[in-house]
Amino acid sequence: MAKIKIPNDWWTAPAEAENGQLILVTGRRGMQVVKETGFYKHRIEVTWAYEPDDKGMPDFATSKLMEEVNDAFEAAFGKDPVAVVTGIYTGAGERNWVFYTRSLHIFQRKLNEALAELPVLPLSFYAEEDPDWEEYSQMCETEIADTDDE
């Protein structure tokens, strides 16, 4: 299989949790080529629950560690795209990374490798088959259209 080019073009938009707190939705553009391979059928959500401030956001130290985790994910899955991060949600006491992967077993191994140098983190995991990328499509609906074309 030829190596596909994973785009690195991101957008961020505000959303609101059921409790009214802010959620920042960060999505990856241009994932149609990855979706169309038909190989990335499993969606995995990696969730980090944290103690939120009054707006639902993490404190500075937690957000810095979350960025280290994000960098570790980029390094691990950028070299070997067995999985690709398509969205990141932050707010209302949670950071949630959404991955689409080719293999749950290999994803687990690569994730453990990526996080090996970091402290033990309060992560939880959810996985299901999503061959049509329904979550990705829903997330993309929150993107704010660029109006700088005028």
83-91/123-129 β-pairing: unpaired
90-142 pLDDT per residue, tens:
999 999 999 999 999 999 999 999 999 999 999 999 999 999 999 999 999 98
Q: CB count, 10 Å around CB of 96?
A: 19
DSSP state of 148: T
pLDDT band at 145 (very low <50, low <70, confident <90, very high): low
Whether 149 is covered by a domain: the verdict is: no
Counted domains in the chain: 1
Whether 89 is covered by a domain: the verdict is: yes
**pLDDT score, position 150:** 43
Quote the domain boundaries for residue 34.
10-140
Q: What is the CATH number of the domain that holds 94?
A: 3.30.70
Whether 81 is covered by a domain: the verdict is: yes
On the question of pLDDT at 146 being above 70, the answer is no
Whether 34 is covered by a domain: the verdict is: yes
- At residue 65, the 3 state secondary structure works out as helix
Answer whether 5's CB lies under 8 Å from 12's CB.
no
